[in-house]
Amino acid sequence: MIWKRYEALKWASSFLKSYKRDDNIGEILLCDRLGLTRTDLLANIREPLPDADAVWLKERVTEHALKGTPVQYMIGQAPFYGRRFKVTPDVLIPRPETEELVYRVGVWAGRFFGTGSRLSVCDIGTGSGAIAVTLALEHDGWQMTAVDVSAKALSVAEENAAALGAPVTFRLGSLLEPLEGRPFDVLVSNPPYVSRPEMRELSDTVKDYEPHLALFGGEDGLDFYRRILQALPSVFGHKPYFLLAFEIGASQGRAVESLVKQVFPDRIEDLAVEKDLSGRDRNVMAVIRIN
Ligand code: SAM
Ligand code: GLN
């Protein structure tokens, strides 16, 4: 029996639901397989689905339902800020929440440096390069440098920058070390921030597939904030202000805010814990006076 596309998707959706998985995964897979946008797929939903495609879809839907393999690793890409990023199991799949960090960096940079300023910006723990590449493409004249300790992640990020035509300099190494004291105006980072107890609670789609190097932030999840804040003065630039933009875990707002206050007690021009679209604390933004 030859399925119509909608019949295949109906099967996928109820199969996924019975395993308590996202039921739109069949759609994502089928769009990728057929090389169609979601709109094109839905507009031509009554077309027959060739057997080979139906078998391909069934295998992947079944694997995701049973084992939780992320669909983004299956198709080798993930959307971020309206662009496609290559992803492999060596990089964290970029999250929609992180798009909000990118957006906020633009808003805060406009406020403190003026819109259109030429800024030197570093992205620490760049992974797929989603943040650095997007900022480079959204802000003409920003000089982006992206760091990761994973050589494999860095090569994925480099591929993404090349494919999307983003001018980004990449440096391999730990946190601020590879920046060698060069001056920056902005530091943005979505570091690993999952605490040890939270690591045990992660869903199988995350825990069994995404790199723990990208997730584990030490016992309380705050190690990378402490280490970045301690090293921050080594990269202070020549402008009056330095902008710091972190993604944080939903329970870490107060803690990261107080770390910033501890490290820069008399130099805070502005400091805010900002929420994501689902109303949870997600970013700590700080403007530090440097002269
Ligand atoms: N920026 C990407 C994003 O937002 O989708 C990836 C963020 S992921 C949560 C954290 C990244 O930090 C991973 O790519 C990991 O390899 C990197 N990382 C872990 N330890 C690091 C270190 N000591 N120095 C630099 N990067 C590190
Ligand atoms: N947001 C990730 C999660 O789903 C954690 C990312 C991070 O540690 N920065 O668990």
Instruction: Classify 185 as helix, strand or coil.
Output: coil
Please report the atom of ligand 2 found closest to the CA of residue 215: 8
The predicted model gives 151-166 an average pLDDT of 98
Predicted local confidence at residue 112, as pLDDT? 95
Q: What share of the chain is helix, strand, coil (3-state, %, to 5)?
A: 45, 20, 35
The whole-chain average pLDDT of the chain stands at 97
Ligand index nearest the alpha carbon of residue 131: 1
| Identity of the residue numbered 25 | I
Return the CATH number at 194: 3.40.50.150
Is 81 within a domain? no
Contacts of 189 (CB under 8 A, 6+ apart): 123, 124, 125, 224, 228, 245, 246, 247
C-alpha to C-alpha distances, 41 to 53, 181, 215, nearest whole angstrom: 14, 51, 35
Separation of alpha carbons 17 and 46, rounded Å: 22
Predicted local confidence at residue 100, as pLDDT? 98
Predicted local confidence at residue 8, as pLDDT? 97
**What percent of the chain has pLDDT above 90?**
98
Q: Are residues 238 and 95 in the same domain?
A: yes
Q: Are residues 31 and 108 in the same domain?
A: no
The predicted model gives 251-267 an average pLDDT of 97
Q: Is the pLDDT of residue 114 over 80?
A: yes
Predicted local confidence at residue 172, as pLDDT? 98
Opening angle at CA 216, ends 212 and 219, nearest 5: 145
Is 182 within a domain? yes
Predicted local confidence at residue 286, as pLDDT? 98
Q: Atom 9 of ligand 2 has which residue's CA nearest to it?
A: 192
Q: Which two tokens stand for residue 274?
A: 């900002």
**Each residue of 271-290: pLDDT tens digit?**
999 999 999 999 999 999 99
Q: Strand pairing partners for 145?
A: 122, 169
Is 77 within a domain? no
For residue 237, give its domain range: 90-289
State the residue for tokens 């990378």. Answer: 224
Q: Are residues 275 and 159 in the same domain?
A: yes
Is 234 within a domain? yes
What is the Å distance from ligand 1's center to 189 Cα?
8
CB 225 within 8 A of CB 191: yes
- What's the half-sphere exposure (Cβ side, CA atoms, 13 Å) at 183? 10
**Each residue of 202-248: pLDDT tens digit?**
999 999 999 999 999 999 999 999 999 999 999 999 999 999 999 99
| Identity of the residue numbered 255 | A
Predicted local confidence at residue 91, as pLDDT? 98
What is the Å distance from ligand 2's center to 147 Cα?
18
Predicted local confidence at residue 145, as pLDDT? 98
**Each residue of 69-92: pLDDT tens digit?**
999 999 999 999 999 999 999 999
Q: Are residues 59 and 176 in the same domain?
A: no
Q: Atom 23 of ligand 1 has which residue's CA nearest to it?
A: 174
Please report the atom of ligand 1 found closest to the CA of residue 126: 1
Predicted local confidence at residue 275, as pLDDT? 98
Predicted local confidence at residue 291, as pLDDT? 74
What is the Å distance from ligand 1's center to 216 Cα?
10
What ipTM score was computed for the predicted complex, to two decimals?
0.98
Q: How many domains does the chain have?
A: 2
Separation of alpha carbons 49 and 40, rounded Å: 14
- Angle at which helices 151-164 and 130-138 cross, to 10°: 30
Give the helix/strand (H/E) hosting 168: strand 168-172
Is 260 within a domain? yes
Is 215 within a domain? yes
Please report the atom of ligand 1 found closest to the CA of residue 132: 1
Q: Which two tokens stand for residue 108?
A: 């805060």
Q: Is 125 annotated as a binding residue?
A: yes
Q: Is the pLDDT of residue 1 over 90?
A: no
pLDDT band per the 50, 70, 90 thresholds, residue 134: very high
**Each residue of 20-46: pLDDT tens digit?**
999 999 999 999 999 999 999 999 999
Q: Are residues 46 and 108 in the same domain?
A: no
Q: Atom 13 of ligand 1 has which residue's CA nearest to it?
A: 214
Q: Which two tokens stand for residue 236?
A: 């202070």
**What percent of the chain has pLDDT above 70?**
100
CB 127 within 8 A of CB 214: yes
